Amino acid sequence: MSGTQLMSGTQPMNAASSVPSSANEVSANRCFGGWQKRFSHQSSVLNCEMHFSVYLPPAAELGNPLPVVYWLSGLTSTDENFVTKAGAQRVASELGLILVMPDTSPRGNGVPDAEDKAYDLGLGAGFYVNATQAPWNEHYRMYDYIVDELPSLIQQRFHVQSTAAISGHSMGGHGALMIALSNVKRFSSVSAFSPIVNPADCPWGEKAFSHYLGDDKSEWQQYDSCELMRQQGHFLQLPMLIDQGLADDFYQNQKLAKPLESIAQEMNYPAEFRYHKGYDHTYYFISTFIEDHLRFHAKHLAEY
């Protein structure tokens, strides 16, 4: 699937009780009556071993298919940051939500990294795009991984419903919004914390996109949420919730949240933007409002 393809219907999910050999359980911890687990698998899309984390609420043990919320993390994070810092398991346990937390980039021997080990390019900074430029294009295909390969693995491994929601923070907020806007029929709702909404026109996005996608900025538009909303806003719409801290050091210079709000208002898009005095870019902010986001998704998953 290319980054520009719009899904015309819900992707079929064939839940199976059998455990595929491609996914190996690395750890399991009892948590709010359910299980916080971590898995490894060999990714054919990313050409390396990947890890992902899953929270299974107590309802998963009853055998009924459950809805899924995908969480995409931000720069420098792995699949474990949200697991240990957000405090989401308590609410997911109550609401019967499966949480899936992938890593933020390919990793391992042979996976290229920024020459200067910069935090905003290379390892930990996949930006959820399909890279087209060497040396990145051999491994950095995070769009296909999040949209196709990982959901297929989740569908095989767990008893899940044909409904899913997606959320994320910062670079992961960009990923959640961009992927949802590119695959509207796949998701019941989308939310984000402090999202990079216009990566084609902010320092973080310009640096990453020029390396991963080349200098032709027309190729960047398929991964830019502002452009995607402009193209589709009147036709296919998703419930959207975005929280932004006003004490966020990156709010102004990375153009977080606000440019997309302006377009949403023009398009009469069903998006709620909330701005919070005193809150910054950290997990203190995320942990404060994650319950709102999970309840938001649970409501729309139930209606989908």
Question: What positions carry a catalytic annotation?
Answer: 170, 248, 281
Classify residue 137 by its DSSP letter. Answer: G
Q: How many CB atoms lie under 10 A from the CB of residue 63? A: 9
Which residues 6+ apart lie within 8 Å of 126 measured at CB? 104, 105, 106, 140, 142
Smallest Cα–Cα separation from 207: which of 114, 111, 121?
121
**Strand, helix or coil at 141?**
strand
Tokens of 299: 């409501």
Q: What are phi and psi of 248, to 5 degrees?
A: -75, 120
Which residue intervals of the chain are DSSP H helices? 80-85, 89-95, 142-144, 150-157, 171-182, 203-213, 225-232, 258-267, 283-303
* Side-chain half-sphere exposure of 274, counting CA atoms within 13 A: 16
Contact 142, 105 (CB under 8 A): yes
CA distances from 240 to 87, 165, 227, 237 (A): 21, 10, 16, 9
How do beta strands 48-56 and 23-31 pair? Answer: unpaired
